[in-house]
């Protein structure tokens, strides 16, 4: 272990480090205080040597600058007021234009919706008329087919009846013809002159 003797007192280990830290802090603080005191005395000399008449030159220069800028500032204020006024007029005009455009768009939209509704109504009416015409045409065709079938059945029945009557008439005539032929044949066979 390291050991340090100072003023008849011996210091060892951790105490030695504590003392070194304390000494360095004391030396650093003293140096900082000396620098602050030095700056203070320098400032004191500058303040005592200060000449107030030099401020008058600055005051005159500031006054001249204020006069120059006063006119420019009022011109700038007027310019900005005119610009703001012009901008406000433009905004007001734009608001009016926007309101007019919105109203026209709303009017156009309403007209468009009315036209769409009218077209929709017309298309529904047309669709209903087409359905009605289609149903009527279907009914007419069914009626026509039924009428044609009835006429065809009537004609077929008439033809069948006519054919049946003719067949019956032919049968009757054939029967009559057969009877006459039989009678003639019998007469011819029974005739004494025939050579028996």
What pLDDT, on a 0 to 100 scale, did the predictor assign at position 128?
Answer: 92
Q: Is residue 18 part of a domain?
A: yes
Q: Is residue 163 part of a domain?
A: no
The one-character DSSP state at 12 is E
Count structural domains, the chain. Answer: 1
**What Å distances lie between residue 113 and 1, 19, 101, 108, 117, CA to CA?**
103, 97, 18, 8, 6
Q: Is 12 within 8 Å of 3 (Cβ atoms)?
A: yes
Question: Per-residue pLDDT for the chain (196 aa), expressed as one digit of tens each?
Answer: 566 666 676 666 666 667 777 788 888 889 989 999 999 888 888 877 766 666 666 677 777 777 777 666 777 778 778 888 888 888 888 888 888 888 888 998 999 999 999 998 998 999 999 999 999 999 999 999 999 888 888 888 888 888 888 888 888 988 888 898 888 888 878 877 765 5
Distance of CA 7 to the CA centre of its chain: 94
Q: Is residue 17 part of a domain?
A: yes
Q: Is residue 9 part of a domain?
A: yes
Q: Is residue 42 part of a domain?
A: yes
Q: Is residue 160 part of a domain?
A: no
Q: Is residue 1 part of a domain?
A: yes
Q: Whole-angstrom Cα distance, residue 43 to residue 125?
A: 104
Give the residue numbers spanning the domain of 4: 1-49
> What pairs with residue 110 in β-bridges?
none
Q: Whole-angstrom Cα distance, residue 171 to residue 177?
A: 10
What pLDDT, on a 0 to 100 scale, did the predictor assign at position 107?
Answer: 92
The one-character DSSP state at 1 is -
Over residues 109-137, the pLDDT tens digits come to 999 999 999 998 998 999 999 999 999 99
């Amino acid at each position: 272990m390291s050991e340090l003797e100072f003023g008849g007192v011996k210091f060892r280990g951790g105490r030695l480090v504590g003392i070194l830290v304390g000494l360095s802090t004391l030396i650093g603080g003293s140096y900082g205080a000396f620098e602050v005191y030095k700056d203070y005395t320098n400032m004191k000399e500058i303040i005592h040597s200060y000449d107030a008449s030099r401020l008058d030159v600055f005051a005159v220069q500031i006054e001249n600058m204020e006069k120059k800028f006063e006119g420019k500032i009022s011109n700038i204020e007027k310019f900005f007021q005119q610009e703001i006024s012009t901008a406000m007029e433009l905004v007001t005009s734009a608001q009016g234009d926007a309101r007019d455009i919105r109203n026209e768009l709303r009017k156009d939209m309403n007209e468009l919706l009315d036209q769409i509704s009218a077209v929709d109504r017309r298309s529904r009416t047309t669709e209903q008329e087409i359905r009605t015409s289609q149903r009527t045409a279907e009914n007419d065709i069914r009626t026509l087919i039924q009428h044609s079938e009835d006429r065809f059945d009537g004609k077929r029945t008439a033809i069948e009846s006519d054919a049946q009557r003719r067949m019956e008439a032919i049968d009757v005539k054939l029967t009559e013809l057969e009877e006459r032929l039989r009678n003639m044949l019998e007469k011819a066979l029974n005739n004494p002159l025939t050579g028996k």
